[in-house]
Amino acid sequence: MTAEPYLERLDEIEARARAAVVRARSAALTSADPGTGEQWEEGQVWAHMSEFVPYWIGEARIVVAGSPAPVPFGRVKTDAARVEAIADRRHDPVEQLAEVVLADVGILRGYIEELGDTPAVWAKEGRHSTLGVMSIDAIVEEFLIGHLEQHLDQLDELAA
């Protein structure tokens, strides 16, 4: 694995997030959360996107630094801090949440550049409580890049 494909996807994520802010509608609209199927309002989607990037970068750092592998990491969807952060931020203005998301995308870009193109780094493993052993590559895909894309898809659905 190399950083470049993820960096390219981050360019698209940033553009999609900016477009989603422009077309933001009403918190009364709902869309199914990709992980749970529960119905989320637009504000909840933005609130979640504004809280998870720093969390998962921190968890990835634990895995990269940890030894012996696989290092325990992560949380589950019912994590109290996660649920509370979404509930607390869901009524914040979309523009404010989007600023946080876009800043976090920049931080994520820096972290992926930091990971670089060293296969041994991307292969480091952690153990998630429900998903089992995952490489850094899988963690970045599942919890960061792919996760942002899933929630942008959700915002696209709300706009449709």
Write out pLDDT tens, residues 108-121. Answer: 999 999 999 999 99
Check residue 67 and give its pLDDT. Answer: 82
Does this model's pTM top 0.85? My answer is yes
* Residue 77: domain span: 4-159
Count the domains in the chain: 1
Q: Residue 95 above 80 pLDDT?
A: yes
Dihedral, CA of residue 77, residue 81, residue 83 and residue 85, to nearest 10: -130
What is the mean pLDDT of the segment spanning 82-99? 92
CATH code of the domain containing 94: 1.20.120.450
Q: Which of 131, 121, 140, 126 is nearest to 13 (CA)?
A: 140
**Measuring CA to CA, how many Å separate 116 from each of 70, 107, 109, 111, 138?**
21, 14, 11, 9, 15
Q: Looking at 37-41, 64-68, 125-129, which range is the least confident one?
A: 37-41
Share of the chain above pLDDT 70, in %: 91
